[in-house]
Amino acid sequence: MSLSNRHLLGLSGVPKEDLQLILDTARTFREVLERPIKKVPTLQGKTVVNLFYEDSTRTRISFELAQKRLSADTINFSTSTSSVKKGETFKDTVRNIEAMKVDMIVVRHKSAGVPQYLTKISKANIINAGDGLHEHPTQGLLDMYSINERLGRLEGLKVCIVGDVAHSRVALSNIYGLKTMGAQVSVCGPSTMIPFGIEALGIKVYHKIEEALKENDVLNVIRIQLERDAGRRIPSLREYHNYFGVTTERIEKFNKDIVILHPGPINRGVELSSEVADGPYQVILDQVTNGVAVRMAVLYLLGTMHS
Ligand code: CP
- Confirm or reject: Cβ of 288 under 6 Å from ligand 1: no
Q: Which domain holds residue 147?
A: 137-287
Q: Whose CA is nearest to atom 6 of ligand 1?
A: 56
Could you tell me the pLDDT band of residue 181, with boundaries at 50, 70 and 90?
very high
Verify whether ligand 1 is closer than 6 Å to residue 139 (CB atom): yes
Closest CA to 282 of 267, 263, 262: 262
> Bigger pLDDT: 177 or 232?
177
For residue 306, pLDDT beyond 60? no
Cis ω on the peptide bond leading into residue 195 (within 30° of 0)?
no
User: Does residue 4 fall inside a structural domain?
Assistant: no
Does ligand 1 lie within 6 Å of residue 231's CB atom?
A: no
Give CA angle at 101 (97, 102), nearest 5°: 70
Same-domain pairing of 156 and 82: no
Q: What is the mean pLDDT of residues 23-31?
A: 98
Q: Is residue 123 part of a domain?
A: yes
Q: Which of the four pLDDT bands, split at 50, 70 and 90, describes residue 228?
A: low
The CATH number of whichever domain residue 32 belongs to comes to: 3.40.50.1370
Residue 233 in this model has a pLDDT that exceeds 90: no
- Are 104 and 242 in the same domain? no
Lowest mean pLDDT segment, chosen from 76-90, 101-115, 160-174, 291-305: 76-90
pLDDT tens, 194-219? 999 999 989 999 999 999 999 999 99
pLDDT digits (tens, 9 = 90+) for 282-303: 999 999 999 999 999 999 999 9
Residues 186 and 247 in one domain: yes
% of the chain exceeding 90 in pLDDT: 91
Identify whether residues 236 and 95 lie together within a single domain: no
Band (pLDDT 50/70/90 cuts) for residue 277 is very high
pLDDT at 80 over 70: yes
CA end-to-end span of the chain: 15
Per-residue burial over 245-264, b if 16 or more Cβ lie within 10 Å, else e, is: bbbeebbeeebeebbbbbbb
Q: pLDDT band at 131, cuts 50/70/90?
A: very high
What pLDDT, on the 0 to 100 scale, is given for residue 230?
67
Pocket test for ligand 1, best of 52, 59, 133, 290 (most atoms within 8 A of CB): 59
Look at residue 288 in the predicted model and tell me its pLDDT.
Answer: 98
Global pTM reads 0.96
What is the share, in percent, of the chain residues with pLDDT greater than 70?
98
227 CB within 6 A, ligand 1: no
For the cut 80, the answer to whether the pLDDT of residue 226 exceeds it is no
Q: Are residues 152 and 126 in the same domain?
A: no
Give yes or no: residues 173 and 97 share one domain.
no
Tell me, in angstroms, the distance from the centre of ligand 1 to residue 253's CA.
Answer: 31
Indicate the pLDDT class of residue 41, thresholds 50, 70 and 90.
Answer: very high
The span from the CA of 58 to the CA of 64, in Å, is 10
Q: Kindly state whether residues 149 and 130 are assigned to the same domain.
A: no
Residue 191 is given by DSSP the state: G
Residue 11 lies in a domain: no
Do residues 169 and 283 both lie within one domain?
A: yes
In the chain, how many domains are there?
Answer: 2
Contact indicator for 259, 151 with CB cutoff of 8 Å: yes
Binding site membership of 287 for ligand 1 (Cβ less than 6 Å): no
| Same domain, yes or no: 179 and 75 | no
| 291 CB near ligand 1 (under 6 Å) | no
